[in-house]
Amino acid sequence: MTHADDTIRVLIPLKVRKKNGRPKILPPADYLPSEDQTQDPHILRAIGRAWGWRRRMDAGEFSTIQELAEAVGLAERHVSRQLRLAYLAPEVLKRLTCGREASSVSLYDLCFLAGEAWGEQFERVFD
């Protein structure tokens, strides 16, 4: 049997709020994230989705981006922009996905870097 003297109580100053109908744990207001953060999960998800779409198009499942967009239920413009992530430089993809290094650009800007030379992509993403 446990006595009151044997119990250790730990207080963790977190808040639970609902976001999009789901509970989300929020850190304390004075919390500063560490410098060694991993990559944004939205970027990782977008890269994975872009590669999946690229494979499906290369396999001949879809002949146009419009067909792909209709099949996945997204706007053609969005699919076109996100599909560019599958054409990023190999070194950039490796460091973003395997190295989990945080990029200095947003996901939106990363989509437009695919059209640049691979050396320029690397410099702009990891400055």
pLDDT digits 0-9 by tens, 23-82: 877 777 776 655 555 667 888 899 999 999 999 999 999 999 999 999 999 999 999 999
Write down the pLDDT at residue 101: 67
String of DSSP letters for 3-52: -GGG--------EEEEETTEEEEE--TT----S-----HHHHHHHHHHHH
Write down the pLDDT at residue 38: 60
- Give the span between the Cα atoms of 93 and 99, in whole angstroms: 9
Write down the pLDDT at residue 31: 67
Write down the pLDDT at residue 33: 59
Write down the pLDDT at residue 34: 54
Proportion of the chain above pLDDT 90, given as a percent: 33
Write down the pLDDT at residue 62: 94
Compute CA 26 distance to the chain's CA centroid, rounded to the nearest angstrom.
20
Q: What is the chain's length?
A: 127
- Give the span between the Cα atoms of 88 and 121, in whole angstroms: 8
Q: For the chain, report the end-to-end CA distance as a whole number of angstroms.
A: 59
